[in-house]
Structure 1
Amino acid sequence: MKKFLIYIAKIVAITILTAFVLDGLYTFIFTHSNNRGKIEKVFNSNAQKYDVVILGSSRANNHFVAQMFEDKGLKTFNYGMSGGHLFEASLMLKLMIERKYEIKNVILEADLNLSNEHQAEGISARFLPYIHNSEVIKDHFSNEADFNELYYIPFYRYIKYDGKIGFREAFFISVDRKTNALDNLGYYPLEKHKNGNMKNNIVNLNPLKHNKYYEEIKELCKANQINFIALMTPICENTKGMNYFDKVKKAYPEIHNYENVVIEDKYFSSCGHMNDAGARVFTAKILNDFFSKN
């Protein structure tokens, strides 16, 4: 029995040691990556200076043509993340400030995601390799139900989110395999699809009266003397429940409503996402309305 217990103890010790070693190895790999994605780009960067930083979900990623801002002399990057929520947008801005970024203007796509305060696990997981290396990441996750497991159990986060930050991703970083996430200054252009879904139903969607992460972004901008521009971006005209945008405007009067600036189907790849042509029409409107004096 004694030998059996010693054997079990050795197995447990080896398992724990292996977890610590793998955790350290994976973390080392991720903290030396800056060409796979937008989160890595910010975390592993030195202080940057931007005239315009764009934040939000895919409706930011696909709708703001960063090069058009650059053509006006405005140093810009589109940090919109497809699938992301305001949880991730807020954390991205916090990380930039932690990295001593100097930002003049933040454009936030704030419309559909005002209806929730959830994290988008597929996106938020990409912050987790740095949870021991950044106080703002640690604090941002501190109220999540699984924080203790993510923070204190070695290698747990890499196992739980293996599809996002597991072996495959660590391997691709190791062999310096790039993605297209950083192309076009972060803007991801979409094509017009013949079979694109041009119907949408947001009848049951309601903006929260006080979205925690939206308010965080607004307060961060105020505290750091950043001009805050919150926008609702276009959606196709066949959407049911368009009064959602009126509800947003009532709850958050400072958010500028641009949902009907581009409406024709020819400018959309799907009902909620404009194609490149639509994005260029929209971006030109934003530049004219907010940056024409630059």
Structure 2
Amino acid sequence: MKKFLLYIFKIFIVTLLVAVLLDGLYTYVFMQSKNRGKVEAVVNSKEQKYDVVILGSSRANNHFVSQMFVDKGLKTFNYGMSGGHLFEASLMLKLMLERKYEIKNVILEADLNLSNDQESEGVAAKFLPYIHSSEVIKEHFSPEANFKELYYIPFYRYIKFDSKIGFREVYKIAQNEKTNALDNLGFYPLEKHKNGNMKNNIVNLNPLPHNKYYEEIKDICKKNNINFIAVMTPMCENVVGMNYFDKVKKAYPEIHNYENVVIENKYFSSCGHMNDKGARLFTAKIIHDFFPKK
């Protein structure tokens, strides 16, 4: 019995050592990554100065044409992340400030994601390789139910989120394979697709009366003298339940409602995402309204 227990103990120790070694190796690789995504681009960067930083989900990523701001003399980057929630947008802003970024204006796409204050696991996972090297990331994840496992069990986060930060991603970083996430100053243009979903029903969607991460972003901007611009972005003309945006305006009167600035289906790739032409019309309106003298 003693030999068996000793054998089990040895296996446990070897497994633990391997996990620690793999955790260190994976983390080291991620700490060298700068050209595969927006998270690592910020985490592994030095201080930057921006006139405009854009945050939000794919409805930010696909709707704000960064180059149009630059053409007006405004240094801009679109940090919108497809699939992201306000949980990740808030963390991204915190990371920038941790890296000593100087930001004059934050434009936040705040509409559909006001209906939840949960993390988007697939996007949030991209921050986890840096949970031991960034106090901001550690604190942001600390209220989450699985924080202790993610933080204290070596290699656990890489196994749990293997599809996002596992071996395949580590290999591609090691091979210095780029993605298009950082192209076009973070803006991802969409085309008009014949099979795009041009119907949407948001009747049952309701904004939270107090979205924790929206309020967090707003408070961070106030404390750091950053001009905070929150906007609702357009949806196509076939949406059912457009009074959702009225609900948002009632709960958050400071959010600017631009949902009806572009409505024709020809300007959309899908009902919730404008194509490149629509994005340019929308961006021109935003620049005209908020940066008219630049």
TM-score (norm 1): 0.99
Gaps of 5+ in 1: none
The amino acid that maps onto 2:269 is S
How does 1:2-151 map onto structure 2 within 5 Å?
Answer: 2-151=2-151
Residue of structure 1 in register with 2:197 after alignment: 197
* Cα distance between partner residues in 2 of 1:200 and 1:19: 45
The amino acid that maps onto 1:53 is V
* Cα distance between partner residues in 1 of 2:45 and 2:233: 29
How does 1:272-283 map onto structure 2 within 5 Å?
Answer: 272-283=272-283
Secondary structure of 1:172's match?
helix
Which deviations, in whole Å up to 9, do the C-alpha atoms of 1:213-237 show, x marking residues without a partner? Answer: 0000000000000000000000011
Secondary structure of 1:39's match?
helix
Residue of structure 1 in register with 2:160 after alignment: 160
Secondary structure of 1:253's match?
coil
Note if 1:247 corresponds to 2:230.
Answer: no
The Cα shift of 1:44 comes to: 0.1
Which deviations, in whole Å up to 9, do the C-alpha atoms of 1:183-202 show, x marking residues without a partner? Answer: 00000000001111111000
* Cα distance between partner residues in 2 of 1:6 and 1:229: 62
Residue of structure 1 in register with 2:177 after alignment: 177
The Cα shift of 1:51 comes to: 0.3
The Cα shift of 1:2 comes to: 2.3
The amino acid that maps onto 2:25 is L
TM-score (norm 2): 0.99
The two structures, once aligned, show a CA RMSD in angstroms of: 0.5
The Cα shift of 1:3 comes to: 2.1
* Cα distance between partner residues in 1 of 2:179 and 2:26: 19
* Cα distance between partner residues in 2 of 1:56 and 1:32: 25
Residue of structure 2 in register with 1:216 after alignment: 216
Note if 1:229 corresponds to 2:232.
Answer: no
* Cα distance between partner residues in 1 of 2:67 and 2:56: 17
Gaps of 5+ in 2: none
* Cα distance between partner residues in 2 of 1:212 and 1:5: 48
Q: What is the total number of aligned residue pairs between the two structures?
A: 294
